[in-house]
Amino acid sequence: MTIRYWSESLSDVSCQSTSRSSRDLVGRAEAIALAEPDSPLHISALCNALAVSERTLRKAFHTVHGAPPCRHLRMQRLSQARLALLSADGNLATVTEIATLFGFVELGRFSVEYRRVFGESPSKTLQRGATGQAHAGGRELPSAKLQTATTLA
């Protein structure tokens, strides 16, 4: 009876430890990947910087976010681009400048993905931000929707 109890509590601690270490690893990966948003996302470079295998990193992201690292980090950058579009002056900044600032070099893909996630074109968001209507119209991206969007991408 005692051995069984000890074994069960050891597996609980092991799961909690795995979950915590996954969160720590994902947190460090996000910090590195988002520190330079204009550079492309390369999982191999991220793994080298973290001194972990690609399998370990993918497993940690699946544990924490239920999505692969590239997909989750791309959605975070997309959200950052949206905030930049909403806060930018449409007379001084362009969608292209903002998209490339966050590492999106294929502008057609950026626009399609942006519209799919937020329900409006990036240029429409930029116009709304410039006129001070940052929260009128368009859809905001709640965390549940971010999770759904990342798993569908």
Domain encompassing residue 23: 2-69
Domain-terminating residue out of 29, 53, 69: 69
* Per-residue three-class SS string for 17-84: HHHHHHHHHHHHHHHHHHHCCCCCCCHHHHHHHHCCCHHHHHHHHHHHHCCCHHHHHHHHHHHHHHHH
Do 75 and 148 fall within a single domain?
A: yes
Do 39 and 105 fall within a single domain?
A: no
Reply yes or no on whether the pLDDT at 32 is more than 80: yes
Select from 101, 96, 105 the least CA-distant residue to 34.
Answer: 101
Its pTM stands at 0.70
Write out pLDDT tens, residues 46-56. 999 999 999 99
CB contact at 8 A, 64 and 26: yes
